[in-house]
Amino acid sequence: MPTFLSRRRVRVILATAGALLLCALLALAIFPWGMLKGAAESRLTQRFGRPVTIGTMERVDPVGFATIVRLRDVRIPGPAWSAPRDLAKIGRIDVGFNALSLLLGRLSPHTIDISGAQINLVRTRDGRENWRQDKSADRQSGNSSLDRLTVANSRLRYDDAKQDRRFDMAFASDAGAGLRLQGSGTVRGAPVTLAARAPALSDRDGGRWPFEARITGEALSMHTRGTMAAPFDTDRMTLDVTARANDLKLIDAIIEAGLFQTQSVTLSAHVRREPTRWLIDRLDGRIGRSDLSGKLTVDKVDGRTKLSGTFVSRQLDFDDFASDEGLRRAAAKKRAIGPRIVPDTRVNLAKVGKTDGTISFRVGNIVSRQGPSSLKTLAGTLALDNRKLSVAPLTIGLSQGRIAGSAIVDQSDGAPEPLVRLDLRLLDSSIPALGGGGGSVTGRVDARAVLAGRGSTIREAVGKSSGRIGVVARNGAMPAEIAAALGFDAGRALLAGEKDRAALRCVVVGIALRGGRGTVGPFVIDTSQSRLDGAGTVTFPGETLAVRLTGAPKQDAVLRLPGSATLSGTISEPDVQVPKEVKSVGNVFKAIGRAITGKQGPTATDADCAALSARVLR
């Protein structure tokens, strides 16, 4: 008897449960979804972080589990700072979903039909975005469960003050023509038209989703063709890109890679996108008359950007990496302050705090629109780690000889200006090669510079640097008249023939810098006929000279002028000034008298060129 009652109780429970489930399913099949308008508004408000309102919400189909809910007059306001523009206003949205999915605790729409949408995307100059609740919000990838997306009578407006780009586009999607965006806008003031196309979601065959986009304009044109792993899945895609622009900065306004202004540019690239990285498998391009090819991987690791790449240029003109306006400013600055040998290249790393990486580079031929250049090749490896950039090894090939060494730009301490360390050697060059070819003075040239100073440009850093510079020229020759003049032997200088030569034993110049001010010593020009010694200062960044020169012949002079000279001006434009008394008639008569009496003063001895050279090149 108890067993019979237990079995009966079980049957009653099962029947009751079945009836309740049947009632629940029936209730779900006929549920009036409009009753949940308040809940839907609350959920959307939580998602966007601002009060979303829905004018009406109603069920379209009469009964069933495959249901359609229609929302009208949906308004998603923007953040307070973007008022009065709303993020979105949508006239009608029909959302189709399987109500049974709610039993699993999630809503998975399989169709979305939109009509009369007005989307306004805004980004401010400081990077705030009205479509993101906060700057750290995660990006959403594509929804692979969506079977159909239909859009009609809708527009997308995008206003980006940070990159100075503005677009106004109509967008639509249907089974016949697919997904389409088309409109116009400006990129940094340059007018462009835009068009993008992809298949309708209903047309996909379960494989990759192809897409194509174009930006067309006189100053900027870009074409992208690729595929995504799933519709709108921008984290997994492969694409081929071609671009042409008057300036690389216009392309950067689209790709946002932190690039700089240049001459006109054409580029092509094959790119792969994975969830945490970009892989540029092939990059080819031309900037002005400079070419560039290579590959690059951009990886996101622990909130940092990691770069790894290799680049090669067969021909490079440094002026191609500046705009016409930038070249005009540089030319005006050069006219105002005169030429400088230390470049004004910007090296401040304050804006690359979250970027690390290693990039190797090689340039086969360096050219210049300014005329023949003594620089011919360039090779090295850039390593960046927490605002510390090192270029080592660095090799610069010259028309004769090379520069080798390292350069370090260290801003890892967060200082407003980086500490720049330079250790460079000039090896096996010559006076004619450094002078651009030709010239009457010959000799091998070697040099060494070891400097450290803070500055946002190399010129500023050298202008505040401490360290040493040494320059040595040796085993050369010069016109005899110049050699005689170095010893203040006016007679031999006047009597020397055009083809007469003197040996250049060595030129040795050492500079000890402290805070950008250099003490010159030794300063020796030693020839077979004379020796010139100097002492004084050279001051950076102006590169101004203040050196007193005294010379003597190595044998009895024909007509030796007493006195000294001053080397002033700049390193690029030196000026030798002879005091008036040296050139005076009285001094000339004194020199003649000394020549007659044989009392011309002591003669010079050979300098210890080897020891002096080793001292300044150590």
Question: Which of 79-93, 300-314, 319-333, 488-502 has the lowest average pLDDT?
Answer: 488-502
Instruction: Give the tokens for residue 230.
Output: 């799933």
pLDDT at 481: 84
Is residue 358 over pLDDT 80? yes
Instruction: Give the tokens for residue 539.
Output: 């001051």
E strand segments, 431-515: 444-454, 466-479, 501-514
Residues 116-138, mean pLDDT to the nearest whole number: 81
pLDDT band of residue 553 (cuts 50, 70, 90) is confident
Question: Which of 315-329, 483-497, 604-618 has the lowest average pLDDT?
Answer: 483-497
Burial class (CB in 10 A: 0-12, 13-18, 19+), 69: buried
Amino acid at 69: V
pLDDT at 334: 81
Residue 429 burial (CB count, 10 A): 21
d(CA 53, CA 48) in angstroms, rounded, equals: 12
Query: Per-residue pLDDT tens for 270-327?
Result: 999 998 888 999 999 999 999 999 999 989 888 888 999 999 999 999 999 888 988 8
pLDDT band of residue 64 (cuts 50, 70, 90) is confident
Is residue 5 over pLDDT 90? no
Residues 124-139, mean pLDDT to the nearest whole number: 71
Residues 48-58, mean pLDDT to the nearest whole number: 91
pLDDT band of residue 585 (cuts 50, 70, 90) is very low
Q: Is 345 helix (H, G, I), strand (E, B) or coil?
A: coil
Amino acid at 577: Q
Total H helices, total E strands in the chain? 11, 30
- In the predicted model, what is the mean pLDDT of the chain? 86
Element (H, E) at 310: strand 304-313
Residues 466-473, mean pLDDT to the nearest whole number: 97
pLDDT at 588: 47
pLDDT band of residue 333 (cuts 50, 70, 90) is confident
Amino acid at 513: L
Q: Is 124 helix (H, G, I), strand (E, B) or coil?
A: coil
Question: The whole model's pTM is what?
Answer: 0.77
The dihedrals phi and psi of 445, each to the nearest 5 degrees, come to: -125, 135
Alpha helices in 203-357 (DSSP H): 248-255, 324-337
Residues 141-160, mean pLDDT to the nearest whole number: 81
Spatial neighbors of 34 by CB under 8 A, at least 6 apart, are 56, 57, 58, 59, 69
pLDDT at 296: 93
Q: Is 17 helix (H, G, I), strand (E, B) or coil?
A: helix
Is residue 336 over pLDDT 90? no
Question: Which of 144-153, 265-274, 573-582 has the lowest average pLDDT?
Answer: 573-582
DSSP character string of 352-411: GTTEEEEEEEEES-EE-TTS--SEEEEEEEEEEETTEEEEEEEEEEESSSEEEEEEEEE-
Place of tokens 């109500």: 99
Is residue 211 over pLDDT 50? yes
pLDDT at 365: 95
Residue 50 burial (CB count, 10 A): 17
Residues 342-368, mean pLDDT to the nearest whole number: 90
Domain map (residue ranges) of the chain: 468-616
pLDDT at 475: 93
pLDDT band of residue 186 (cuts 50, 70, 90) is very high
Amino acid at 455: G
Closest CA to 118 of 180, 58, 169: 169
Query: Per-residue pLDDT tens for 212-240?
Result: 999 999 999 999 999 999 888 888 999 99
Residues 481-493, mean pLDDT to the nearest whole number: 72
Query: Per-residue pLDDT tens for 365-419?
Result: 999 888 777 889 999 999 999 999 999 999 999 989 999 999 999 999 999 999 9
Q: What percent of the chain has pLDDT over 90?
A: 54
Is residue 136 over pLDDT 60? no
pLDDT band of residue 27 (cuts 50, 70, 90) is low
Element (H, E) at 340: none
Query: Per-residue pLDDT tens for 506-552?
Result: 999 999 999 999 999 899 999 999 899 999 999 999 999 999 988 88
pLDDT band of residue 143 (cuts 50, 70, 90) is very low
Is residue 436 over pLDDT 80? no
Instruction: Give the tokens for residue 348.
Output: 């401040």
